[in-house]
Chain A
Amino acid sequence: MKIKTGFRLRNICGENIIVAEGIENIDFSKIISLNDSAAYLWQQVEGKDFTADDLATLLCNEYDVDETVAKADAEALAQQWLETGIVEE
């Protein structure tokens, strides 16, 4: 999977917010924001093709986390990103 074209991570008011710069309208009544570790992962996979496993590896390298936990979290995150439409297969 990869990040959809034109979707960027912006820091708005201290929050890591996904902004679709290809899309004209920014809707502040519906914001997609990432916590710090999700934002880290996003930055690592920008412009690249990646899998949930890649995310898990990144988590293990960057954070002190168990591999099974990392895998589960990475799967869940990838699923969320797909569902909210910021990432495509």
Chain B
Amino acid sequence: MKKVANTLVIANDILIPEVVRLIDEGHTVTLPLRGNSMRPFLEDERDKALLKKPADIKVGDPVLAETAPSHYVLHRIVDITGDKVTLRGDGNLGTEHCRLADIKATAIGFYRKGRDTLDSTSGLKWRVYSWWWTRLLPVRRYLLFALHPHIPQRIKNKLHEKKSGQ
């Protein structure tokens, strides 16, 4: 664990069990997100999820699941057959599996792009996005490539600095 200019970085295998504990106690938890596995809706180090105790889990829900011992993902459920759950991150092509009991929390909304307003998973924006994005799975590979920042942000920042410097 380290502190970087007022930011505390904690490894998932230590932090998430604590998050789950708080969820089980009945709290909701606002969790900053890392990684690219839920692109394009959610971006690395930019967005946060609002997590709650899971109830009425169904296909399409974004959930926090333990897919391997001490390994957690926040991905969308794409299939539930009996006790077996299949997950696929919106920014992924591959899937993970777990059991219903491994679903530790459900995301009821997201705080995106630094905003204070919640993009609720029961809201229109998420539902329309989900409808399209899940149906575009056959071409997801190409969409993700097109949406991927080909010029890394740090290079963009450098170019911007040069321009405004002149």
Q: In chain B, residues 1-52, which have Cβ atoms closer than 8 Å to a Cβ of chain A?
A: 1, 8, 10, 14-15, 18-19, 22, 26-32, 48, 50
Given A13-B10, A13-B14, A15-B8, the answer on whether A28 and B1 have CB atoms closer than 8 Å is no
Residues of B within 8 A of A27 (CB): 29-30
The answer to whether B8 touches A26 (Cβ under 8 A) is: no
A8 CB, nearest partner CB in chain B, Å: 12
Are A25 and B28 in contact (CB-based, < 8 A)? yes
Sort chain A's interface into a size bin: 10 to 19
**Which residues of A21-48 have CB atoms within 8 Å of chain B's CB atoms?**
24-29, 31, 33
Interchain pairs with CB closer than 8 A, number:
37
Minimal beta-carbon separation of B20 from chain A (angstroms): 12
| Nearest Cβ on chain A to B50's Cβ, whole angstroms | 8
- Interface magnitude class on chain B: 10 to 19
Q: Are the C-beta atoms of B29 and A28 separated by less than 8 Å? A: yes
Inter-chain contact A29/B48, CB cutoff 8 Å: yes
CA distance A52 to B15 in the complex (A): 34
Asked whether A33 and B8 contact (CB < 8 A) given A13-B14, A25-B27, the answer is: yes
Can you name the residue of chain A whose Cβ is closest to the Cβ of B19?
A28
Q: Which A residues touch B28, using CB under 8 A?
A: 24-26
Closest-CB distance, A15 to chain B (whole angstroms) = 7
* Bound Cα distance from A30 to B114, whole angstroms: 13
- Contact between B30 and A25 (Cβ–Cβ < 8 Å)? yes
Q: How far is the CA of A24 from the CA of B32 in the complex (A)?
A: 17
State in angstroms the CA–CA spacing of A14 and B15 once bound together. 10
Chain A neighbourhood of B18, CB < 8 A = 12-13
Docked complex: A65-79 residues within 8 A CB-CB of B? none
In the complex, chain A residues whose CB is within 8 Å of the CB of B27 = 24-26
- Pairs A–B under 8 Å by Cβ, sample size 8: A13-B10, A13-B18, A24-B27, A25-B29, A26-B30, A28-B15, A28-B29, A29-B30
Which B residues are closer than 8 A to A by beta carbons? Answer: 1, 8, 10, 14-15, 18-19, 22, 26-32, 48, 50
Residues of A with Cβ closer than 8 Å to B?
A: 12-15, 19, 24-29, 31, 33
